[in-house]
Amino acid sequence: MSFPIHRPRRLRKNGAIRKMVRETQLTPEDFIYPMFVTHGRGVKKKIQSMPGCFQRSVDEIVKEAQNVYKLGIPAVLLFGIPEHRDEKGSEAYSDKGVIQKAIKAIKDKVPELVVITDVCLCEYMSHGHCGIVKNGKILNDPTLELLAKSALSHARAGADIVAPSDMMDGRVGAIRDALDAHGFEDIPIMSYSAKYASAFYSPFREAAESAPQFGDRRSYQMDSSNRREAIKEVALDIEEGADIVMVKPAMCYLDIISDIKDTFDVPVAAYNVSGEYSMVKAAAKLGWIDEKKVMMEILTSIKRAGADLILTYFAVDAVKELNK
C-alpha cells in the first residue's frame, strides 16, 4: 500500500469521479423535522435563539406540514407548548391538548406525512422537570403512568409513532403495555435511548419554555462522559419494545451513534439538537463560517457515523440544498 503505486488523489480528480466513489449520500428521507405547536390562531412566533424556527398555532403548523411534505421530508416531530402548567403535566395527556389537536389537524390535511410525537412531561410541568417531583426528587415509577397516558392520547389523536424523551427507567415498557392494551399494538416507539444531560439543549428550552425551575436533569439524563452505558440503555429499551433507538445530541456523540449502529440491528436515529443548530446560525451570522456548507458537513457526518434517521431543525434547508 505505498506510493507511487497508490495515489488516493486519482479518485478525487474531479467532481464526477468524487461523486461516483462517495460513501455517504444524504436524501430527504433521512430527515425528521421538529416543530413547536402553541395555542391560538395565526400564530407564528419567532424563537430568538433558533433563527428560522417558530412556535406555530395549529393552523400554521398544518401549513408548514404541507410544505415539509411537498419537499419530500417524510416525517415531523411535534412538541407542544401548553396553555397551563401544573404539577401533573395535565395537558400532556388531555384530549384537548395542543399536541392532540395538532396531530388531528395534520393527519386530516396531510395524511401521508408521518407524525411523530415527543412524549415528555417537562413542557407541561410547572417545575419544568420530566417527571413527578416530590421533596425536590424526580420520581421514576409514578411518572411512568403519566407518560403512558400521554403516549396513548397521542395514538388516539392519530400519531404514527411515539417518541419518549424523558429518560425515566422502564418508560418504553410502560408505554408499550398501554398502547397494546388499547389496540395500538401497531404504533412504533422511537425511544430517546441514549439521551445525555447536555448543555446543547438550552435554545430548545426557550423554544418549548421547558427549562427546569430548580436543579438540572443529571439525575435522569446520561452523563456525557459515558460510552458503555449507552449500550446498556439501548439494550434495555429494545428489550422493552423500542422499535427505533435514538442518540441525542448528535455532533459530540458520533462515537455513540457508531457504537449503537454496530451493536444492534434496529434503526438508529440521531438528534441534531437546538444548540448544534444555533451555533451554526450564530457563527454564520457573524460571517465566520459558510452556513450551508457547514450544515451539510454536519448532517453528512451524522449519517456517516451510522444514523439511519436524523432529527434536525435544518431539515427544510438541507433538502432545499440537496435539490439545488
List of residues 6+ apart from 20 with CB closer than 8 A:
none
Catalytic residue among 101, 248, 261, 303: 248
SS3 116: strand
Please tell me whether residue 55 binds ligand PBG under the rule CB under 6 A.
Answer: no
CA dist 145 and 170 (Å) reads 11
Size of the site for ligand PBG (CB under 6 A): 12
Q: Which of 120, 152, 155, 238 binds ligand PBG (CB under 6 A)?
A: 120
Residue 229: which residues within 8 A CB-CB, separation 6 or more?
A: 222, 223
Interaction of residue 33 with ligand PBG, rule CB under 6 A: no
- Which of the residues 89 through 118 are near ligand PBG (CB under 6 A)? 118
Q: Is 119 in the site for ligand PBG (CB under 6 A)?
A: no
Considering the complex, what minimum distance in angstroms separates the CB of residue 69 from ligand PBG?
22
As given in the structure block, the three cell numbers for residue 161 are 409513532
Among 190, 213, 207, which Cα is nearest to 271's?
Answer: 190
Q: Which residue among 38, 143, 150, 274 contacts ligand PBG (CB under 6 A)? A: 274
By beta-carbon proximity to ligand PBG, the closer residue of 66 and 252 is 252
Question: Which is nearer to ligand PBG, 59 or 229 (by Cβ)?
Answer: 229
Any contact of residue 233 with ligand PBG (CB under 6 A)?
A: no
| Residue 155 in contact with ligand PBG, rule: CB under 6 A | no
Among 105, 178, 242, 273, binds ligand PBG (CB under 6 A): 273
281 is annotated as an active-site residue: no
Binding part of the chain for ligand PBG, among 105-113, 201-209, 222-230, 237-245 by CB under 6 A, reads 201-209
Q: Which of 53, 58, 98, 130 binds ligand PBG (CB under 6 A)?
A: 130
Is 315 an interacting residue with respect to ligand PBG (CB under 6 A)?
no
Q: How far is CA 272 from CA 48, 198, 236, 275, 277, in A?
A: 18, 12, 23, 8, 7
Of 95, 86, 150, 154, give the one whose Cα is nearest residue 124.
86
Q: Which of 110, 262, 119 is nearest to 189 (CA)?
A: 119
Instruction: Compute and round to an integer the Cα radius of gyration of the chain.
Output: 20
- Residue 27 is placed in which grid cell? 436524501
Whether residue 107 lies in the annotated active site: no
Choose which of 201, 220, 253, 314 interacts with ligand PBG (CB under 6 A): 201
CA-to-CA distance for 127 and 123, rounded, in angstroms? 9
CA–CA gap between residue 243 and residue 187 (Å, rounded): 9
Task: Answer whether the bond into residue 82 is a cis peptide, omega within 30°.
Answer: no
CA-based max dimension of the chain: 70
Helix (H, G, I), strand (E, B) or coil at 267: coil
Q: Which CB atom, from 184 or from 271, has the smaller least distance to ligand PBG?
A: 271
150 sits near ligand PBG (criterion: CB under 6 A): no
CB of 120 to ligand PBG, least distance (A): 4
Q: Which residue is nearest to ligand PBG (CB)?
A: 204
Q: Which residues are catalytic?
A: 195, 248
Site of interaction with ligand PBG (CB under 6 A)? 118, 120, 122, 130, 165-166, 201, 204-205, 217, 273-274
